[in-house]
Structure 1
Amino acid sequence: MDPHLCISCRGTKYLCGLNYCPVILKNLSFKVREMGTEVSGSSPPSIFVGRFGYPKITVYPSTPPEFGDTSSYENPRRWLEMDTTSFLAMRLNMIRGGLEFRVTEASSPGRNLFDVQVISLSPRPVEMELDLVNVPRGKILSETVPPLGPSAPLRSMKLGTLPPPERVVEKVFQDRDMKAVEAMERLRSNGVPVERISKLLSVGNLGRDRRLVPTRWSITAVDKTLSDKLVSKVKEFPHLGEIEVYVRKFNLNTFVGILVPGNWSFEWGEAWFPSTTWNMWGAYPQVEIDYEGYFGRKTYPEIGGCYYSSRLAVAEFLEARGRQAIPILWREIYPGFYFPVGVWFVRENVRELFKGKPEKFPELDDALKYVDQVLKVKSSTWIKHSKVIPMIRSRLFP
């Protein structure tokens, strides 16, 4: 398999000519416990909205087969504290019951879809009983979505007492005149986590013209929308005083953030080493970079949803500091990192990256020499793929 195809495809475009992804198929051998057709437990809450068959798609209320405080099943901050095996075992034992709806039904839902929408409002776990048509099978491993366990068509669902939502969540749910973009921003500014905002969007709980949105799309839509808002604020701030370099090593990954004083521009790059998720059969690291200038970009980044997840994390950091900069973010993925786990991994690690203490430098070349001591791919190779560094050196930014 041409490793460059895997980097470009990431299990979504089938560029290799096959009608399945051999990388994901290889990883689907991860075993989960066998379940019957009746499943009960405390849903974190968790809801997955599929994309196949659009505009008629399947919505999956989901629960682990256990009761109590299951909030960690939907909490990316907690996921960072787990080893990969424990994380996968937890997420892949989330059982999904599928119900089909047209995307437009979200604006005037029947009983089943309304129940799903109400579940998503809850800030705490909800007791749930799923009566499935058959024994659940399969699982989901994706570059965008966190891993999910087996599914089956849902015959019926029973819910326990639903905890009341926070006032701001109830407000955006009830307000049919509020635009979805405004609702997302209000939720974020009131401390509602990104993953909950994505869930509310996907089940059709936000905006004027309410529709179901596949989870894969809603995650990236929320990351992009919120980071767009933050970047517009960051552009009004004074420049950072000097170049700062942040480093984070975590779970066979190294993240580097270089903040260069100047008007906003942004770069996200990844280097996948052989025997990793998207370079399973290659002989050398595959490097890919996407970027934007001061005025943003008009096309979807080839590098995928991690672009917007990392952009949101660094925009949050700059907005909190009241400073403007040119973020250059690079990530190296080392042998043994096999599983696609979702863009949450990038978002949370970049957030953690900027909690660290930076090294400071007067010149970009000095910063790149320091980066050479941290990364295995030399900065000269990164620069060959970079568009932002040549523009900085040429002073092409407005």
Structure 2
Amino acid sequence: MRLSEFIEIEKNERAERRRLAGEKSYEILDRLDGIGDQFADISGGDAVGSVSPSIFVGRTGYPEVSTGLLSPVGNESDASQFVTDGAWYDEGVSIGDVFERRTSLLNANQTAPVEANVHDTWEGFLGVQREVALSDRPVGVEVGLGGTPELDLADSVDDVSAPTGPRARANDATLTENPHVPRPVKKTLEDDDWRATGAMNYLYNRDFDVYEINTILSAGALGQQANRRLVPTRWSITAVDDTVGKYLRGSQRNATSVDSVSVWHNEYLGNSFWIVLAPGNWEFELVEFKAPGSVWNPDPTAGVWLASDYEGSEGRTGYVEETAGAYYAARLAVLEYLDSINRQAKALVLRHVSDDYWGPVGVWQVREAIRHAFDGDHAESETFDDAVAGIAEQLPVSLADLRRKSTLAAGRQTGLDAFGASRD
């Protein structure tokens, strides 16, 4: 399919998705108003029985952090639906759906130092939390609360990482059923001479997705004994994306390059993604365009905000400066596709964050939107230059502005002939 034909089809589909998104854009206000009623009967001193599908480790106050059990009080039969994973994309969850699920989770928490002795902890609150993290299905728990659940509406709406539910201090917690721990997880847990990076890659190669791995890492259940510690959830997500991405990149180092310039597109939750793969050794760049009305724009008065981060064939030596966790989530999705076809490529990902993205949901939507972009049709272009020029017509900035911001689009790191600008 020619790029021009591909773009026209995508424009029609995008208009319909935008119409549907607009119908739900104010639901979050009503949802937050009702959260207090849902937990009104719970107070300090209560013992709350529920099913915990996951855990959460905060980063505020690091190295003293809030570490908690997440429980969908009143929705125990559907507990697995409250766990963030790729199934949310398959279900077609909306931003409103994400807020409803996240804010329905009671976070019963205690404060602990990240260097707490989690190596062989099976008792007390941290022990229960660890068991929940290791299990491959929700676990029955009973939590004794020392405080009344409170919801910070500002945090729930404005936290860029994700909305949050009510929080309550926990006095203690006990399991009401035995967790089911998969054999590969037991192996990584018991082998405390294994570095965390090796354990993560081992689990990934045994069909554990990054969502499961980052939960186990967050609970301090991976790595060498002396180095095991609690890891804030937001950091664990990026750490796993980065570690698995580097592993995949290493396995592709000697792979044959793709032999043509291809373009994929996907749109989800007000985010539009264009992925260009072109011949050459591995290079990667994420360029983001953040609309004035999107929750990601740090300065709405300045118009569209541009951000980008790049790596060459040797990878990065430091954390990205402008695109944060989205960079590692996007890179992982691209590397997974290249691994599936046993090829390497130069990859440019363009992300337009529109004002339809009215509530932050987390970087999982970046990872899943790009993963699923490769499931659809793609277009081909004669040259990388032509591909970028064609896509630029759909972006909120000019081609000149894109080239000023993008290393790959400007050809500052490699000659354009490497992208097929002049193929014989």
Greater mean deviation of Cα atoms: 369-378 or 119-128: 369-378
Indicate conservation of the 8 Å contact 1:243/1:360, yes or no.
yes
Paired amino acid for 1:166: P
**Structure 1: distance between partners of 2:417 and 2:290:** 30
C-alpha displacement of 1:293: 1.0
Indicate conservation of the 8 Å contact 1:42/1:69, yes or no.
no
The answer to whether 1:101 aligns with 2:112 is yes
Structure 1 match to 2:196: 180
3-state DSSP of counterpart to 2:186: helix
C-alpha displacement of 1:360: 1.0
Indicate conservation of the 8 Å contact 2:122/2:130, yes or no.
no
CA deviations on 1:272-305 (whole Å, 9 max, x unpaired) are 1111102373252111111111111222112211
CA deviations on 1:107-147 (whole Å, 9 max, x unpaired) are 24361212211111111111222221111113555777443
Indicate conservation of the 8 Å contact 1:147/1:341, yes or no.
yes
Greater mean deviation of Cα atoms: 273-282 or 311-320: 273-282
Structure 2 residues not aligned, in runs of 5+? 1-27, 419-424
**Structure 2: distance between partners of 1:51 and 1:27:** 26
Indicate conservation of the 8 Å contact 1:122/1:162, yes or no.
no
Match of 1:334 among 340, 354, 358: 354
C-alpha displacement of 1:393: 5.6
**Structure 2: distance between partners of 1:198 and 1:106:** 16
Indicate conservation of the 8 Å contact 1:27/1:339, yes or no.
no
Greater mean deviation of Cα atoms: 333-342 or 242-251: 333-342
Match of 1:286 among 284, 292, 305: 305
Paired amino acid for 1:106: V
Q: CA distance change for structure 1 residues 275 and 199 in 2, over 3 Å: closer, same or farther?
A: same
Structure 1 residues not aligned, in runs of 5+? 1-25
CA deviations on 1:13-46 (whole Å, 9 max, x unpaired) are xxxxxxxxxxxxx999943522113433222x21
C-alpha displacement of 1:156: 2.1
The answer to whether 1:353 aligns with 2:373 is yes
Q: CA distance change for structure 1 residues 121 and 95 in 2, over 3 Å: closer, same or farther?
A: same
**Structure 2: distance between partners of 1:144 and 1:178:** 34
3-state DSSP of counterpart to 2:256: coil
Paired amino acid for 2:278: V
Structure 1 match to 2:6: none
Structure 2 match to 1:190: 206
Structure 1 match to 2:33: 31
Structure 2 match to 1:9: none
**Structure 2: distance between partners of 1:72 and 1:91:** 10
Match of 1:85 among 96, 103, 110: 96
C-alpha displacement of 1:239: 0.5
Structure 2 match to 1:111: 123
The answer to whether 1:254 aligns with 2:266 is no
3-state DSSP of counterpart to 2:62: coil
Structure 2 match to 1:19: none
**Structure 1: distance between partners of 2:232 and 2:59:** 5
Match of 1:76 among 81, 85, 88: 85
1:1-398, aligned counterparts within 5 Å?
30-34=32-36, 35=39, 36-37=42-43, 38=46, 39-43=48-52, 45-65=53-73, 66-80=75-89, 81-104=92-115, 105-109=117-121, 111-112=123-124, 113-139=126-152, 140-141=155-156, 145-208=161-224, 209-279=227-297, 281-282=300-301, 284-302=303-321, 303-389=323-409, 390-391=411-412, 394=415
Q: CA distance change for structure 1 residues 396 and 57 in 2, over 3 Å: closer, same or farther?
A: farther
**Structure 2: distance between partners of 1:211 and 1:144:** 25
Paired amino acid for 1:51: R
Matched length: 371
Paired amino acid for 1:352: H
C-alpha displacement of 1:338: 2.3
3-state DSSP of counterpart to 1:68: helix
Paired amino acid for 2:151: G
3-state DSSP of counterpart to 1:31: helix
C-alpha displacement of 1:193: 1.5
Indicate conservation of the 8 Å contact 1:269/1:329, yes or no.
yes
Indicate conservation of the 8 Å contact 1:49/1:57, yes or no.
yes
Structure whose alpha-carbon radius of gyration is higher: 2
Paired amino acid for 1:62: L
CA deviations on 1:207-252 (whole Å, 9 max, x unpaired) are 1121111112111111111101111112211000100000112222
**Structure 2: distance between partners of 1:396 and 1:143:** 43
Structure 2 match to 1:16: none
3-state DSSP of counterpart to 2:147: coil
**Structure 1: distance between partners of 2:174 and 2:210:** 27
**Structure 2: distance between partners of 1:297 and 1:109:** 35
Structure 1 match to 2:3: none
Higher helix share: 2
Greater mean deviation of Cα atoms: 197-206 or 122-131: 122-131
Q: What percent identity do the matched residue pairs reach?
A: 32
Indicate conservation of the 8 Å contact 1:224/1:312, yes or no.
yes
C-alpha displacement of 1:368: 2.0
3-state DSSP of counterpart to 2:217: helix
Q: CA distance change for structure 1 residues 53 and 393 in 2, over 3 Å: closer, same or farther?
A: closer
**Structure 2: distance between partners of 1:342 and 1:238:** 34
C-alpha displacement of 1:392: 5.6
**Structure 1: distance between partners of 2:310 and 2:30:** 32
**Structure 2: distance between partners of 1:216 and 1:342:** 9
3-state DSSP of counterpart to 2:301: coil
TM-score (norm 1): 0.87
**Structure 1: distance between partners of 2:359 and 2:189:** 35
